[in-house]
Amino acid sequence: MSNFIENQNWRYATKKFDATKKISTTDLEILKEAIRLSASSYGLQLYKVFIVDDKETRDKLVAVCWGQKQIVDASHLFVIANYTKVNEKDIEFHIENTAKTRGIDVETLKGYSDFMKSKIMELSAEAQSNWTSKQTYIALGNLLNAAAELKIDATPMEGFEPEKVNEILGLNQLNLNASLIIPVGYRHEDDANQHLKKVRKSTEELFVTI
């Protein structure tokens, strides 16, 4: 656990990446697995994760991401996109996957399936989208922690125009919305922010015991 805290103190929102340094295939697979194993409400994982390698696409994204150069300079670019609408088939897929993974009869899960449908299907489209968007932040947390352990820099971004990112990546046709963008790679030696002390509230200011 001491290493975990040390890694959290090491990480920061990198402003300038070293474009010459690339994440190894092995480390990239670890980052992907960290996201895949993230907790999510009901275990549904109602989002998709895009890894944007295409240079032309990343160049287009800079313009709709407030000109932030991390988009093109980072080794890899993750975009986590939440489902804008939840369908019964999304729940049924999870139920079937659960039955297959655990080697049980899908019919034994019918009660749980019906329960999820009764709770989720009654939500408005806006409420569904807000809920699925929140799930992406749990995946983000796992990505940041795994990256810090590997001494890989990751910068979570909300500073972009979702509608235009959706258009560039063709997300609208896929019932998806760009929730988070995370450039990952290695800090440039000239990035001054790496030398600044981390600013956080004190334990006394942040925690309340009732």
Tens-digit pLDDT profile for residues 22-58: 999 999 999 999 999 999 999 999 999 999 999 999 9
Tens-digit pLDDT profile for residues 67-100: 999 999 999 999 999 999 999 999 999 999 999 9
Q: Is residue 140 within 8 Å of residue 80, measured between CB atoms?
A: yes
The pair of structure tokens assigned to 53 is: 């390698």
Write the DSSP symbol of residue 170: T
- For residue 194, is pLDDT > 90? yes
3-state helix, strand, coil in the chain (%, to 5): 55, 15, 35
Q: Is residue 69 within 8 Å of residue 62, measured between CB atoms?
A: yes
Predicted confidence at residue 120, as pLDDT, reads 98
Predicted confidence at residue 1, as pLDDT, reads 65
Domains of the chain: 2-86+123-206 (3.40.109.10)
pTM of this structure: 0.96
Q: Is residue 179 within 8 Å of residue 140, measured between CB atoms?
A: no
Predicted confidence at residue 2, as pLDDT, reads 72
Tens-digit pLDDT profile for residues 163-190: 999 999 999 999 999 999 999 999 999 9
